[in-house]
Structure 1
Amino acid sequence: MSRSPALGHLLALAVSVVWGTTYISTKVLLEAFHPVEILIFRFVLAWAILFLCAPRPQLPRSFRSELPFLGAAQQQGLNDLLVTRKVFFWGVLFTLPFCLGTGITFDLTRFAQPLMLGNTVYLGVVASALCFLAWNRASALIGPVATNVYLYLMPVITSVWDSSSP
């Protein structure tokens, strides 16, 4: 794979725009969902999409081999898609205990509303699955320091996007 700085900058900018708009989507979903529900639906959807992209199971060799994924670190020998999928799996697993005692019902009928379904798909597929892969690629192309500079655009993007929404 050739290194293309222009592609790296374009990916980092695109991801920053998407991530900057996730706050508005989350605000819409908070009208009908508990915050933990949003996280779980988002993580499960992202994991499912990533699993469909590479449907071979990646079973752990041992619990010790899974420890780096708990901190979202990468292990050598696995591609970005498999690493990202594992991180989302652990995200779901460690978010589930926060459901205890909250009265969360995971009522799927709320997805009958196109606004709720659309925002959940946007957060799970675009902002989570696709953007984390794109961010990893951008980091590989232009380096983590240059990529992370784009994070500073997110508050501006959020403010502009939110002020233009009804």
Structure 2
Amino acid sequence: MNSASFPSRWVAHGAALCCAVVWGVTFVSTKVLLDIFAPAEILFLRFLLGMIALWCVRPQRLHVEGARRHLLFAGAGLCGVTLYFLLENMALQYTLASNVGVLVAISPLFTALLARLLLGERLRLGFFIGFVFALAGIVCINVNSGAVLRLNPLGDLLAVLAALTWAFYSILTRRIGQMGYDTTLATRRIFGWGLLLMLPVLPFAGVDTDATRLLLPTAAGNLIFLGLGASALCFVLWNFALSRLGPVTVSQYIYLIPLVTVGASLAVLGEPVTLLAVVGMALILAGLLISEGRFRR
């Protein structure tokens, strides 16, 4: 039995599922905000708002002793906040969104390999079979949207690097969780490091000092959603799930994000769901179940 109790494990699964659902619909808010802010501005503002929210919830100070532990938090902030989102945004500038969607989805594979190398976790054959099923489903969904996967070396490499940095974030956060720190306080510290390491990039990222844009209802509403929901709440839930289930299990919920996106497109935009999309969603669900060992021979 895992160190987490049975009810706690199901709560952790629910937390990871909640993150996949919220992150699956954030593309709508980000797309709206890109008409008002530069990508780096959106990134900085959402995590600044998220850190403020976490400070309001838990204003206590997190005591971290030892340079090695400080480096763990700095590394998590660098990988999960600064590098991942900057690399993803840069990738979108050089390659197709469909390429980025597929390549970022290989993050669970990187996470599993790093967990094996750095944490000594065992990997089952079912994980790799499930990965193939889920990736095939994601490709189906991207093709269904009318996108054609074409090789764009620079952009595709940036997308792969984004997937790799998220894998490192998962491993580092797992190590932080094993040290017994409060999840909310630890997430706030990670946000702080991510924002600090983002500062050198902002002067070169097209930042505008016009603060009146924040008063626009559209801007304020979407930033609140991204800051409070997709950042503060979801990162706390994701880090909680990582501490209870481990990076290999939790990372597999990333497969569900494209599936949620299809559902959001149907509900919000009224886009039709074709047979290919249904096949893609079925493959993703099958991949997740196989990876989790829910399907027996």
- TM-score scaled to structure 1, two decimals? 0.86
Q: Taking structure 1 as reference, are residues 11 and 62 closer, same or farther at Cα in structure 2, changes over 3 Å only?
A: closer
1:10 aligns with 2:8: no
Distance across 1 between alignment mates of 2:242 and 2:65: 28
Look up the match of 1:156. Answer: 259
Look up the match of 1:43. Answer: 47
1:145: how far off?
2.6
Distance across 1 between alignment mates of 2:244 and 2:204: 45
Distance across 1 between alignment mates of 2:10 and 2:69: 35
Aligned residues: 166
- TM-score scaled to structure 2, two decimals? 0.51
Look up the match of 1:82. Answer: 185
Cα contact 1:24–1:158 (8 A) shared by 2: no
Cα contact 2:38–2:206 (8 A) shared by 1: no
Which residue identity is paired with 2:46?
A: R
- Give the counterpart of 1:91 among 177, 180, 194: 194
Question: What is the correspondence of 1:1-166 to structure 2 with a 5 Å cutoff?
Answer: 2-4=5-7, 5-58=9-62, 61=65, 64-72=68-76, 73=172, 74=176, 76-166=179-269
1:86: how far off?
0.8
Deviation string 1:89-137 (CA, Å, 9 cap, x unpaired) is 0111111111114441243211222221111011111111111111122
Look up the match of 2:278. Answer: none
Mean CA deviation greater in 4-13 or 135-144: 135-144
Which residue identity is paired with 1:120?
A: L
Distance across 2 between alignment mates of 1:163 and 1:27: 17
Unaligned runs of 5+ in 1: none
Q: Taking structure 1 as reference, are residues 56 and 161 closer, same or farther at Cα in structure 2, changes over 3 Å only?
A: same
Q: Look at both structures and tell me which one has the larger radius of gyration over its CA atoms.
A: 2
After superposition, the CA RMSD in angstroms is: 2.3
Distance across 2 between alignment mates of 1:128 and 1:57: 20
Distance across 2 between alignment mates of 1:128 and 1:37: 15
SS in 1 for 2:199: helix
Distance across 2 between alignment mates of 1:107 and 1:40: 15
Cα contact 2:16–2:241 (8 A) shared by 1: yes
Distance across 2 between alignment mates of 1:30 and 1:162: 19
Q: Taking structure 1 as reference, are residues 132 and 103 closer, same or farther at Cα in structure 2, changes over 3 Å only?
A: closer
Distance across 2 between alignment mates of 1:54 and 1:79: 10
Which residue identity is paired with 2:23?
A: W
Distance across 2 between alignment mates of 1:149 and 1:107: 40
SS in 1 for 2:200: helix
Unaligned runs of 5+ in 2: 77-171, 270-297
Which residue identity is paired with 1:82?
A: L
Higher RCO (CA < 8 A, seq sep 6+) = 1
Distance across 2 between alignment mates of 1:61 and 1:149: 32
